[in-house]
Amino acid sequence: MAGKDEALSGEGLVERLLPEATSCADVGGGGGGGKKWKKTYLDVLGVCCSAEVALVERLLAPLDGVRVVSVVVASRTVVVEHDPAAASESAIVNALNKAGLEASMRAYGSSGVVSRWPSPYIVASGVLLLASFFNWLFPPLQLLAFAAVCAGAPPMLRRGWAAACSLSLDINVLMLIAVAGALALGDYTEAGGIVFLFTTAEWLETLACTKVPYQCHVTVFSNKPTVIKPGRTLTSQVQASAGMSSLMGTLPAKAVLVNGEVVRVRDVRVGDVVAVRAGEIVPVDGVVVDGQSEVDESSLTGESFPVPKQPHSDVWAGTMNMDGYIAVRTTAVADNSTVARMDRLVEAAQNSRSKTQRLIDICAKYYTPGVPMIPALLGADSLRQWWNLALVLLVSACPCALVLSTPVATFCAMLRAARMGIFIKGGDVLESLGEIRAVAFDKTGTITRGEFSIDSFHLVENKLEIDHLLHWVASIESKSSHPMAAALVEYAQSKSIQPNPENVGDFRIYPGEGIYGEIHGKHIYIGNRRALARASSPQQVQETSGMIKGVSVGYVICDGELAGVFSLSDDCRTGAAEAVRELGSLGIKSVMLTGDSTRAAMHAQGQLGGVMEELHSELLPEDKVRLVGGLKARFGPTMMVGDGMNDAAALAAADVGVSMGISGSAAAMETSHATLMSSDVLRVPEAIRLGRRARRIIAVNVAASLAVKAAVLVLAASWRPVLWAAVLADVGTCLLVVLNSMTLLREKWKGGKKGDACRATARSLAMRSQLAADAGAPNSTAAGAGREQTNGCHCCPKPSKSPEHSVVIDIPSNGEHKEEQPTMAAIVAKCCGGGGSKKPAASRASQGCCSAGEGKPINGTGRRCTNEKPSCCDKGAADVTNSSPETAKGCANEGCCASLQD
């Protein structure tokens, strides 16, 4: 990990992309000569296409004290890293404004607020042009068209002049030449028309580009914490939390420590405890240490329902505390918070160019100088016609629409993805998404929840005391982040054995095998058969084969002797089967790659209803890489979805690597090309669909801009060159391209369908009931739900409303709302194994209904709990052949699942 960080900063990526929040930090580091570098964000409305990028760079580079300039065309943002002592912000703004680029400092948190009204130049030129049309009443009115040119041209002149000075041929210059030509021909109306059309189109385009997500932010969130009124629906906030690039702006500037002290968010240190009241935005990433509440995480995960929080829950900066009070112990400083990291990624993504875009940029470079050469080749009847033709060609030489075709669509698609809780790290990734032919899923933590429950834990030959062994195992596992580790620690705790990680020495991780640690002088390995083979004699390996049956079996080897054996199991995520089926309907192959045992892979496959086309188990990290390579060769572009350390290499090797969840492993998130912010696997097919749509839209954009250009040229050459038509075609296609790209944003997300609401309710309710139970509320225990309810509930209560409505959750204003929930919650908790809550394994097991089971045919009867049912009840029947008392309780599953089969 350290090596990775170095590699990143070595490329200057981290440094280049310091977030807004750090703008005052000294990032000079070495070699800065004591200079304080600052990052300033500017809204530059005059940035219309990539042609202006060079202009901005040429304008700012000569300024003393400016270090790095980056331009984000799609959002019209210029980011300047500078030394405020040498180059002040106003100097930078002035330099850009001298060229008419309409630059302004971006206020903290706001972004690109464009005036809704056209500038006075546009209005004046429009009115004058209109008046000139009445020249049939009074011929001198013709001169008003000339006045219209004079009124509308100043902004064009300023920008064109700046471009000309830096020897670049941008659209302003082309248009000005056309206007001058029309005036020279005495065609005042035509000249006035060009000026008016061009300036109006520019304004409309700016409006379209900037209107989209940002304004919602500015209006809904302010830097001051907004108090959400009871009864207000969440959807407005969902719409508001559109783009991650502007999410940083929602962070409060100040945080309140529990002792009442108000500090700047930047000054909050790791380990500080901050107080977050109802309606406030969580200012830092951390862990809840006190209080309970529901938090709206839609800004990060795209999931529009509140997530209950209680002590030990993780919370993230930028999410909103909706009701209740929580005290949060910080786990990262503001600049390192998830939202800050995502912000940097999004910015980097916007700067990176996709293949298509690079190709188009190259073509555009030759296109502009190439087009005006054509009239010479065509030949014209008269000088006047030649001249007209030349002007039309000149206007058509602007590749604006072509250049805009890709970045605007990419930008909109990435915003759309961000709203769905998918972070895509660049246009290239988006393009690859649309080409995916095969998807490889990791099992643990991706297809399954990664919340194991221990089905059995035995001593072998009773040489040791179980309490001692459990204490050692729990102590060593406390140092591991593997999902199995958490289950083993919880299991020990449920037997009142507390782990003592401080006593563990020489802790080691063997990828794909297990872990090792030394405690109280004992050398202990915990892991699968590979670990057993590593730590004990081949004879012992032989003896243990078939000794215990279970989904996943683990061994504890103490000083070279097998001391304990345990079995554990994990349940598939809700929606996993549906996601794979949807991928199938898109013509995409799905395979499972897991480091876990073959039995575990089969078990998961059973829960999924056999939807996976291939299963590969007992893989080492390098095997996953090899298999991803194989998939690429066999099927074409391949996506890998994974969560763990053991997936990092495979994620990097895939065409698109997708990491799961903000709480997934950091290594996976760093190496992946995209991140699902929630643990919803259904977003995988949705992301692919979005990628395909983006590709289609880009293709339409490119085709339309080329076709319109071609049509104008053909018309001009074969019939009559009409200058204003050429201008209209040019600016019109620009606008069309922008509007077409924006359809990517507008469409409602349909991916969740019925499952979305089901899960939302399930998770939220199950955890609420847990909260209520903890608080000792009456009639709220899971055990309170009757059996007949269990049978009748078909596992997850179906939402009664349409999916679009069901994500609108009214925020309860008082306690009444909560009181009617426990019964529902109890049903959900009972049926759906806790609906994803991180409950202790023991309590999950006690819910009986659908907790851990076996996908294996029951006792040779050939009956199998196959599941075409909603996947929250995708739990197999119990393996009744297992004589272990711990697993015998699994028999209870049979009843529930069997009843659901009918």
657 binds Zn ion per the rule CB under 5 A:
no
CB 610 within 8 A of CB 412: no
Of the candidate spans 209-217, 256-264, 269-277, 482-490, the one that interacts with ligand ATP by CB under 6 A turns out to be 482-490
CB 17 within 8 A of CB 348: yes
Strand partners, 656: 639
Q: Compare residues 513 and 643 and give the one whose CB is closer to Zn ion.
A: 643
82 binds ligand ATP per the rule CB under 6 A:
no
Of the candidate spans 273-281, 323-331, 512-520, 772-780, the one that interacts with ligand ATP by CB under 6 A turns out to be 512-520
554 binds ligand ATP per the rule CB under 6 A:
yes
What does 552 interact with, of ligand ATP, Zn ion, none (CB < 5 to 8 A by kind)? ligand ATP
The tokens of 802 are what? 């349409």
451 binds ligand ATP per the rule CB under 6 A:
no
The tokens of 308 are what? 């209950």
Please state whether beta strands 306-309 and 103-105 pair in parallel, antiparallel, or not at all (unpaired).
unpaired
Q: Compare residues 148 and 568 and give the one whose CB is closer to ligand ATP.
A: 568
Smallest distance, ligand ATP to C-beta of residue 547, A: 15
Task: Pick the binder of ligand ATP from 526, 649, 677, 793 (CB under 6 A).
Answer: 526
Residue 72, classed as helix, strand or coil, is strand
Smallest distance, ligand ATP to C-beta of residue 555, A: 9
Q: Compare residues 606 and 848 and give the one whose CB is closer to ligand ATP.
A: 606
Q: Which of residues 593-622 bind ligand ATP (CB under 6 A)?
A: 594-596
SS (H, E, C) 462-510: CCCCHHHHHHHHHHHHCCCCCHHHHHHHHHHHHCCCCCCHHHCEEEEEE
The tokens of 647 are what? 């997936």
445 binds Zn ion per the rule CB under 5 A:
yes
The tokens of 393 are what? 């060609």
Smallest distance, ligand ATP to C-beta of residue 552, A: 6
Q: Compare residues 317 and 526 and give the one whose CB is closer to ligand ATP.
A: 526
Q: Compare residues 176 and 592 and give the one whose CB is closer to ligand ATP.
A: 592
Known active-site residue 623: no
* Rounded-to-integer distance, Cα 87 and Cα 646, Å: 47
536 binds ligand ATP per the rule CB under 6 A:
no
**Residue listed under structure tokens 């922008």:** 738
Question: Can you list the alpha helix ranges (DSSP code H) found in 371-465?
Answer: 374-378, 383-396, 400-419, 427-433
Task: Pick the binder of ligand ATP from 152, 426, 644, 876 (CB under 6 A).
Answer: 644
Smallest distance, ligand ATP to C-beta of residue 624, A: 7
Residue 245, classed as helix, strand or coil, is helix
Smallest distance, ligand ATP to C-beta of residue 894, A: 26
Smallest distance, ligand ATP to C-beta of residue 18, A: 33
515 binds ligand ATP per the rule CB under 6 A:
yes
The tokens of 41 are what? 């964000």
* Rounded-to-integer distance, Cα 640 and Cα 657, Å: 5
Residue nearest to ligand ATP (CB): 595
Question: Can you list the alpha helix ranges (DSSP code H) found in 614-665?
Answer: 621-635, 648-653
Task: Pick the binder of ligand ATP from 416, 419, 443, 869 (CB under 6 A).
Answer: 443
Q: Compare residues 172 and 594 and give the one whose CB is closer to ligand ATP.
A: 594
Strand partners, 553: 567
570 binds ligand ATP per the rule CB under 6 A:
no
Nearest residue to 460 (alpha-carbon basis) of 447, 473, 469, 448: 469
Catalytic residue among 296, 442, 655, 874: 442
What does 455 interact with, of ligand ATP, Zn ion, none (CB < 5 to 8 A by kind)? none
Dihedral angle computed from the Cα positions of residues 619, 624, 629 and 634, in that order, rounded to the nearest 10 degrees: 60
Task: Pick the binder of ligand ATP from 199, 444, 456, 893 (CB under 6 A).
Answer: 444
Of the candidate spans 53-61, 68-76, 637-645, 840-848, the one that interacts with Zn ion by CB under 5 A turns out to be 637-645
Smallest distance, Zn ion to C-beta of residue 665, A: 8
Number of H helices, E strands in the chain: 37, 26
Smallest distance, Zn ion to C-beta of residue 647, A: 6
255 binds ligand ATP per the rule CB under 6 A:
no
The tokens of 235 are what? 């959807």
Q: How many angstroms separate the Cα of 724 from the Cα of each of 80, 388, 451, 538, 832?
A: 38, 11, 66, 86, 65
514 binds ligand ATP per the rule CB under 6 A:
yes
* Rounded-to-integer distance, Cα 709 and Cα 704, Å: 8
Task: Pick the binder of ligand ATP from 199, 313, 405, 552 (CB under 6 A).
Answer: 552
Say how many residues touch ligand ATP, by CB under 6 A.
24
As to burial, measured by CB atoms within 10 angstroms (0-12 exposed, 13-18 middle, 19+ buried), residue 269 is exposed
Of the candidate spans 32-40, 461-469, 505-513, 534-542, the one that interacts with ligand ATP by CB under 6 A turns out to be 505-513
Task: Pick the binder of Zn ion from 272, 490, 578, 643 (CB under 5 A).
Answer: 643
Task: Pick the binder of ligand ATP from 125, 350, 432, 528 (CB under 6 A).
Answer: 528
Q: Compare residues 82 and 482 and give the one whose CB is closer to ligand ATP.
A: 482
Interface mask (CB under 5 A) for Zn ion, residues 589-628, using x and -? Answer: ----------------------------------------
Task: Pick the binder of Zn ion from 444, 453, 740, 871 (CB under 5 A).
Answer: 444
Q: Compare residues 188 and 491 and give the one whose CB is closer to ligand ATP.
A: 491
C-alpha torsion sign, points 102, 103, 104, 108: positive
* Rounded-to-integer distance, Cα 737 and Cα 323, Å: 43
Say how many residues touch Zn ion, by CB under 5 A.
5
The tokens of 852 are what? 């851990």
665 binds Zn ion per the rule CB under 5 A:
no
Q: Compare residues 151 and 553 and give the one whose CB is closer to Zn ion.
A: 553
**Residue listed under structure tokens 């629409």:** 401
CB 333 within 8 A of CB 316: no
What does 285 interact with, of ligand ATP, Zn ion, none (CB < 5 to 8 A by kind)? none
765 binds ligand ATP per the rule CB under 6 A:
no
512 binds ligand ATP per the rule CB under 6 A:
yes
The tokens of 600 are what? 């575990």
Q: Compare residues 307 and 601 and give the one whose CB is closer to ligand ATP.
A: 601
Residue 27, classed as helix, strand or coil, is coil
* Rounded-to-integer distance, Cα 51 and Cα 402, Å: 12
569 binds ligand ATP per the rule CB under 6 A:
no
Nearest residue to 661 (alpha-carbon basis) of 450, 453, 486: 450
* Rounded-to-integer distance, Cα 78 and Cα 40, Å: 8
> What φ, ψ does residue 68 adopt, rounded to 5°?
-130, 135
Smallest distance, ligand ATP to C-beta of residue 659, A: 12
User: Which letter, b or e, does each residue of 216-232 get, where b requires 16 or more Cβ atoms within 10 Å of its Cβ?
Assistant: bbbeebebebeebeeee
User: Which letter, b or e, does each residue of 595-607 get, where b requires 16 or more Cβ atoms within 10 Å of its Cβ?
Assistant: bbbebbbbbbbbb
Q: Compare residues 115 and 598 and give the one whose CB is closer to ligand ATP.
A: 598
The tokens of 547 are what? 């000794």
Q: Which of residues 383-442 bind Zn ion (CB under 5 A)?
A: 442
**Residue listed under structure tokens 């007209």:** 388
Of the candidate spans 388-396, 412-420, 640-648, 780-788, the one that interacts with Zn ion by CB under 5 A turns out to be 640-648
Smallest distance, ligand ATP to C-beta of residue 872, A: 21
SS (H, E, C) 255-288: EEECCCCEEEHHHCCCCCEEEECCCCECCCCEEE
Given the rule CB under 6 A, which residues bind ligand ATP?
442-445, 477, 480, 482, 484-485, 511-515, 526-528, 552, 554, 594-596, 644, 646
Contacting positions for Zn ion (CB under 5 A): 442, 444-445, 643-644
- Give the active site residues: 442
